[in-house]
Chains A and B, each alone.
Chain A
Amino acid sequence: MAKTWKEWERPLIEVEENIEKLKQKAKASPEAEREDLLKRVAEFERRRDNYIEVMYSRLGPWEKVLVARADQRPYTLDYINSIFTNFTELEGDRRFGADHAIIGGPAYLDGEPVMVIGHQKGRNITERQYRNFAMAKPEGYRKAIRLMEMADRFGLPLISFVDTPAADPSVESESRGISEAIAASMLKMFELEVPSVSIVIGEGGSGGAIGIACASSVLMLEHAIYSVIPPEGCAAILWRMPDKGAQAATALKLTAAWAKEFGLIDEIVAEPKGGAHRDAIEAAGLAKEAIVRHLKLLKKKSGSKLKQERYEKFRKMGRFLSENPVDALAKTR
């Protein structure tokens, strides 16, 4: 069982390296040999593409976990930079401090102003520490609430990008009420009279994720994960063995397909062949198309209708057995 995405993709990386070497060799070779070498390059590239396609069409739950966490995967700011223009980050929670795990601010989407928020991961050690591994503290959620209120006040649709392993579990976050901050953020999302769209782009990690994901439309990227608990945490509880993450990932059914099957998300957004990290621009284009399409439908509805429909959507979530015929729907859904 591979533990990281790099480890899992290694065979592919080796093929790519060989292709690169062959290309270099072709460049340096005399004309007569070059053509033959380039043919071999093309053949290897074709095989590589096939391999990627097969590999990514058969991702199991644990492979999805690895891909969703991949450090080459596009993060919130990558999406923001390709989907929107004039994004202006606003930082303060006006309460305690600045949080860098959740970012947000107004931007233009095809010329129309919207409010954008999202978890931001870091790509190297310095960035990761600065972003606190995308684990937001109470200040992050309180800033999000402030931006949501502003969106509501000025009639800007809200778009949130979800990509966090979890909310920050430290002593200091506890002391400033991380639980209350998450709950209050969800509550605010249910109060909004503007359209809202959430998109899970990588890791949808438990409370930290749902805190900014109570939207009118909830989308999820094909290889993203959404879970009540990290698979390692689940394995630690179930089998007292955190390294059984792969088994736990299977048991938790944390893939987009399952979330859709259970009626917990509205749409699965396709990723470029071989995952979003292979073509961040194309990934953003696909995400944008879905966001714009959902917003267009939502914008036709009144504020009270949006609120009511959002309530009704989440109200139906859950599966249980009922002996009351009125609940028969819940039983069979």
Chain B
Amino acid sequence: MKAEAFLQCSQCKKILFSVEFEQLLRVCPHCGHHHRLLAKQRITATFDPESFEELDKEISSLDPLEFPDYEEKLEAAQAKNGATDSVISGWAKLDGMKVSAAVADFSFMGGSMGSVAGEKITRTLERAADAHCPAIIFCASGGARMQEGLLSLMQMAKTTAAVQRCRENGVPYISVFTDPTMAGVLASYASIADIILAEPGALIGFAGARVSKQAGVSKAPSDFQTAEWVLQNGMIDKIVHRREMRTTLTNLVKMLSWRLVKHG
């Protein structure tokens, strides 16, 4: 792909220098809009340099329902994105501290959770529980992956059960809602983290805005389902600017896992 020297902010339409835009972690210097990151970019922006060790690379999606066009869509996403599925998982470090991490990528089939994403999230949480180190999950998903039917719905239960493992082992789990964090992902492992952070402006909701507005007697406010609206309703803990994410996570993780560190 040829790197363009300039690009336009999709929010404020101002022209940006590509180099500067990347240095700013893809946050618009004019309007502050947080543009979506690929999982790999997120890892570089968040964890200690070269600290990420990817695991679970050996698993990939099947088409158990023989769902119309699923195989083609998967292959196209794999070719475009270079990853095998919508979640990358593994070990990482935050200021030298080992964490079990998973990062979702919206550009891969809308970050949807099928058997593979569910398995990777579950393994990330189980590894944290077993190794007694914190779990950090960056969410970015339209929800469960329709093409795997009920198998996808069951990933909600499976990942939720794994959160229970972390709780039992006294292991802190932090989830970060990035744009967008929706439906089946929001209604499972994402919403029951010990601490929930969100990026400014991220879309966060259970039902698509269209469905909500149809179903609701009350009118949806203009900032409906934004990180700011969700914060105001008490559903998350903090909105964190992308450039502050690393320090905020490091800080929180260290405070919550003092006991784990003390016992080695």
| Chain A residues near B (Cβ < 8 Å) | 167-180, 182-184, 186-187, 190-191, 206-207, 209-211, 213-214, 226-229, 234, 237-238, 251-254, 258-259, 262, 264, 310-311, 314-315, 317-324, 327, 330
Contacts and interface: CB of A to CB of B under 8 A. Distances in A.
Interface residues of B, number: 61
A302 B34 CA distance: 50
B257 interface: no
A186 B212 CA distance: 23
B89 to A, nearest CB: 13
A237 B146 contact: yes
Interface string B140-178: 000011101111111111101101110000000000000
A322 B58 contact: yes
Interface in B203-229: 205-207, 211-213, 215-221, 224-225
B154 A320 contact: no
13 contacts: A170-B215, A170-B217, A178-B187, A182-B188, A183-B191, A207-B188, A227-B150, A229-B144, A314-B154, A315-B161, A319-B115, A320-B116, A324-B58
B225 A174 contact: yes
B212 A184 contact: no
A186 B190 CA distance: 13
Given A183-B160, A253-B150, 9 more contacts: A172-B218, A175-B233, A207-B188, A210-B154, A238-B68, A238-B146, A254-B149, A259-B150, A311-B165
A205 to B, nearest CB: 10
Given A315-B158, A321-B59, A324-B58, A173 B150 contact: no
Contacts, number: 192
Q: Most chain-A Cβ atoms within 10 A of its Cβ — which of B62, B114, B207?
A: B207
Interface of B: 58-62, 64-65, 67-68, 114-116, 118-119, 122, 144-146, 148-158, 160-161, 163-165, 183-184, 186-192, 205-207, 211-213, 215-221, 224-225, 233-235
B186 to A, nearest CB: 4
Contacts of A311: 161, 164-165
Contacts of A190: 160-161, 164
B68 A318 contact: no
B218 A171 contact: yes
Given A318-B158, A319-B115, A324-B58, A187 B164 contact: yes
A180 B156 contact: no
B156 A171 contact: no
A79 B162 CA distance: 33
